[in-house]
Amino acid sequence: MTEQAPLPPAGAAPDWTIPQRWQAYTAADHATWDQLYARQMALLPDRVVPDFLSGVAALGLDAPGIPDFEALSARLRRLTGWSVVAVPGLVPDEVFFEHLANRRFVAGNFIRSAAQLDYLQEPDVFHDVFGHVPLLAHPVYADYMQAYGRGGLRAIGFGAIHKLARLYWHTVEFGLIRDGDRLRLFGAGILSSWGESQYALDDPAPPRIAFDLRRVMRTEYLIDRFQQHYFVIDSFEDLLRRTLEVDFGPLYAELEHLPDLAPDLTLPSDRLYHAGAPRPGPP
Ligand code: PHE
Ligand code: FE
């Protein structure tokens, strides 16, 4: 049986991109961005990895209003060769990987309504651009994201996208990073969420577990609530080394024989930065 990838919606290019249509945003759309931006920037300076803040400044994301992807991409291209392209919403995996492998970050062009400031199901321009794009100005993070895209195209052949997707989820979306003896935020899903930007660092409940590639690839995730634990990387250099320099082919095969891990367990083998109050898992 061959699986047919869904076709792009009417008006989208074969690679699923659409014009951002920056002129079509209303004053209310820009005001929603400004409100979300102000809320996050009141919280993040003391919590986020400093590279995120330098990225915001270097890319001009501190200017008011929803960014124009052309101007944003011009700056980003000069820094790391990445660009930002608009898509109507979530795209099929292979389309997503293909863009990343070519240093294009796909971003929804729509913005949430004022009634949905705290939660929405589909990633909008605030999550995609504010959450993800500033770190793409960091050369090592930029390399990691491209390597991930290439790894995604490879994972399709191994039937292992779900394992690779867990790596993305537990790092790019919800990762924490060590900074001396404290932790900081870097995952985009946290950075675009007012509630989780506080919860992920301050709440005593979720364990903070040192990143381990096998462990992360076995760990399921929930998409509709705060995470029940967080994984902590040492540095972007270390994350890149632990992923780029490993052939995932044999790893996918090996993990086929190991049980998946529920999103609220800790294992005796976990190296914990913060023990939290998890459900103890199997040895
Ligand atoms: N090394 C991975 C592979 O063999 C590719 C990869 C690199 C995936 C970096 C994610 C991040 O498939
Ligand atoms: Fe995201």
Q: Inform me whether the pLDDT recorded for 2 exceeds 60.
A: no
Under DSSP, is residue 270 helix (H, G, I), strand (E, B) or coil? coil
Q: Which residue has the tokens 């930002």?
A: 84
Give the residue from 36, 32, 83, 45 showing the smallest Cα distance to 194.
36
Ligand 1 pocket residues where CB is under 6 Å:
147-148, 151, 154, 243-244, 246-248
Known catalytic residue: 162?
no
Q: Which residues contact 23 (CB under 8 A, 6 or more apart)?
A: none
Of 146, 161, 243, 254, which is best to mutate to test ligand 1, by the most ligand atoms within 8 angstroms of its C-beta? Answer: 243
DSSP codes of every residue in 58-98: HTTTTSSSSPPHHHHHHHHHHHHS-EEEEESS---HHHHHH
What tokens appear for 244 in the block? Answer: 């780029």
- Of the candidates 98, 173, 197, 229, the residue annotated as catalytic is 173
Give the residue from 167, 261, 265, 166 showing the smallest Cα distance to 207.
265
Under DSSP, is residue 20 helix (H, G, I), strand (E, B) or coil? coil
Q: Render pLDDT for 190-222 as a digit per residue (tens, 0 to 9).
A: 999 999 999 999 999 999 999 999 999 999 998
Q: What are phi and psi of 232, to 5 degrees?
A: -115, 120
**Ligand closest in space to the Cα of 169:** 2
- pLDDT at position 1 is 45
Rounded to the nearest angstrom, the distance between the alpha carbon of 241 and the centre of ligand 1 is 10
Rounded to the nearest angstrom, the distance between the alpha carbon of 137 and the centre of ligand 1 is 20
Q: Inform me whether the pLDDT recorded for 28 exceeds 70.
A: yes
What tokens appear for 142 in the block? Answer: 């930029």
Q: What are phi and psi of 81, to 5 degrees?
A: 80, 5
Rounded to the nearest angstrom, the distance between the alpha carbon of 5 and the centre of ligand 1 is 23
The whole-number average pLDDT for the span 135-161 is 98
Known catalytic residue: 197?
no
Of 93, 148, 217, 233, which is best to mutate to test ligand 1, by the most ligand atoms within 8 angstroms of its C-beta? Answer: 148
Ligand 1 atom nearest to CA at 247: 4
Q: Which residue has the tokens 């729509």?
A: 110
Q: Render pLDDT for 156-184 as a digit per residue (tens, 0 to 9).
A: 999 999 999 999 999 999 999 999 999 99
- Please list the alpha-helical segments (H only) found in 7-68: 27-43, 50-58
Ligand 2 ion: nearby residues, β-carbon < 5 Å: 188
Q: How much is the pTM?
A: 0.95
Give the residue from 130, 134, 136, 108 showing the smallest Cα distance to 121.
108
The whole-number average pLDDT for the span 232-255 is 98
